[in-house]
Structure 1
Amino acid sequence: MSVILKVEERAVRPRSIRKKLRKEGRVPGSVYGKTIEDVTISVDAQTLDKTIRQNGLNGVYTLDVNGKKINTLLFDYQLDTFTKDWVHVEFLAVDMNEETEVEAELSVVGTAKGMKEGGILEQSLYSVVVSATPDKLPEQVEVDITDLAIGDALTIADIPKHDDYTIVNDPEEQILVIGAPRAIEEIEETEEGEAPSEEE
């Protein structure tokens, strides 16, 4: 399901116009894609912030540009380092019947058996690339770790297949492992590193 976001066309020159727009509470941006001519736009900052928070980074946004509707995905954006205000936003026009690739966050679900025994969750991958039609792109991909014991690892291949999207990453890529308790690891490392005694 798409969300309508009303935007306005804006001039490209002079460059100072972007600063002026931000002072007026608007965010400069652009829309581009294979099927449309590039359009420079501005959007109300509060409306943009609220809409993205409610619908996610992978939501479909139907931009209303002077009455013309364009189905888009949020392609890129820039936030102010200190205030976290929107500085610039880019939308990519998409065909709703054509698959596209985006990043989706990995969400770890459950508590591993190994963690209950003192094991430590060591995660190395926090997002995956998924392919789907724009209306079926997930914001998150859940991975259940409930049955993992100490020493068990979880890879891309272990994620159950989903009807709506396909994960593009290498199936053998590791997501996480349930490591041994630190105390045990340190004892083993100490024993392995001990120098032989003089009597030996």
Structure 2
Amino acid sequence: MKNRIELSVEPRETGKHNSRTLRTNRKVPAVIYGAVTPTNVHVYEGDIVKYNTRAYENALFNLKSSDKNANGKVVLIKQVDVHPLTRRPQHVDFIALDLSKTVRVHVEIRLEGKAIGLSEGGLLQQVARQVEIECLPTEIPEFFTADVSNLGVGDALHVSDLKVSGSVKIITGAEQTIAVVSAQEEEVVATPAAAAPAAAAAPAAAAKAPAAPAKK
């Protein structure tokens, strides 16, 4: 079962003035929706800064609150709005989950192995870094791995090559390319030797040209 993290949230008053006051005190306005009556809460800024990272992507949180609508709910962080200059979190959307119903999320794809095409002069490119899936909240994988070891020049891995288990269903199209080994294009560079004949031709042509008549 997917581990859960305890997160404290508290009820809040709505309105721009109240939101500004919260942010001044290092608290972030938030809303919980989904399998719950929409509930306005606030959360400590330090917690959001800590958990709004790739390491905690799709993490499940157990809410602890004095608000009975929020207390004990299991949520995902759906969205964090940040200030364009300070990068401080300004607002958070939590989605409350029904653990018996599936949810759609995006999961990271990590490449593993060394493609044999690299020794053939090929270039490995990762085309897709995430895939959308649908599954029970407790079965959300941390990431998928895609083994590129057998890829030669011109070969590719697709979403259909990913291995899934349990209730996991891949939503992204099976034909979507994950990684490909392509041939590197050779760049033709003119050498000094190749350029020399052209340079030498200019003085020769000038020597053959008739002299201009002298002015009277």
TM score, norm. by length of structure 1 = 0.83
Is 2:29 the partner of 1:28?
Answer: yes
1:88 is aligned to 2:91: yes
Q: Does the 8 Å CA contact 1:137/1:164 hold for their aligned counterparts?
A: no
For residue 46 of structure 1, give the secondary structure of its aligned residue in structure 2: helix
Residues matched between the structures, number: 183
Say if 1:143 and 1:38 are closer, same or farther in 2 by CA, change over 3 A.
same
Q: Could you say which residue in structure 1 is the equivalent of 2:38? A: 38
**CA apart distance, 1:53:** 4.6
Q: Which moved more, 1:20-29 or 1:66-75?
A: 66-75
In structure 2, C-alpha distance between the alignment counterparts of 1:172 and 1:113, rounded to whole Å: 22
Q: Distance in 2 between matches of 1:157 and 1:168?
A: 11
Q: Of the two, which has the highest radius of gyration?
A: 2
Distance 1:28 1:116 in 2: 53
Deviation by residue 1:133-180 (Cα, 9 ceiling, x = unmatched): 112212322111111000001111111233352221111111221100
Which whole-Å CA distance do the structure 1 matches of 2:43 and 2:95 have between them? 15
Query: For residues 56-75 of structure 1, what are the structure 2 equivalents within 5 Å?
Result: 56-66=56-66, 68-75=71-78
Paired residue for 1:195? none
Instruction: Percent identity, please.
Output: 26
Whole-angstrom distance in 2 between the partners of 1:86 and 1:141: 29
Write the distance in 2 (CA, Å) between the matches of 1:124 and 1:53: 22
Measured at CA, do residues 58 and 69 of structure 1 come closer, stay the same or move farther in structure 2, by a change above 3 Å? same
Counterpart in the other structure of 1:8 = 10
Shift of 1:82: 3.3
How do 1:1-200 and structure 2 match up within 5 A? 1-13=3-15, 15-33=16-34, 35-53=35-53, 56-66=56-66, 68-163=71-166, 165-183=168-186
CA positional deviation for 1:16:
2.0
Aligned match of 1:197: none
Q: Return the alpha-carbon distance in structure 2 between the equivalents of residues 118 and 80 of structure 1.
A: 44
Please tell me whether the aligned partners of residues 2 and 135 of structure 1 are also in contact (alpha carbons under 8 angstroms): no
- For 1:120 and 1:57, the matched residues in 2 are separated by 29
Letter in 2 for 1:182: E
User: Structure 1: how far apart are the matches of 2:47 and 2:110?
Assistant: 27
Instruction: Give the Cα separation in 1 of the matches to 2:135 and 2:80.
Output: 22
Q: Aligned partners of 2:30 and 2:149: how far apart in 1?
A: 43
Match for 1:17: what amino acid?
Answer: N
Q: Which runs of 5+ in 2 are unaligned?
A: 189-216
For 1:52 and 1:149, how far apart are their aligned partners in 2? 37
Note the C-alpha offset of 1:51.
Answer: 4.0
Paired residue type of 2:13: A
3-state SS of 1:105 partner = strand
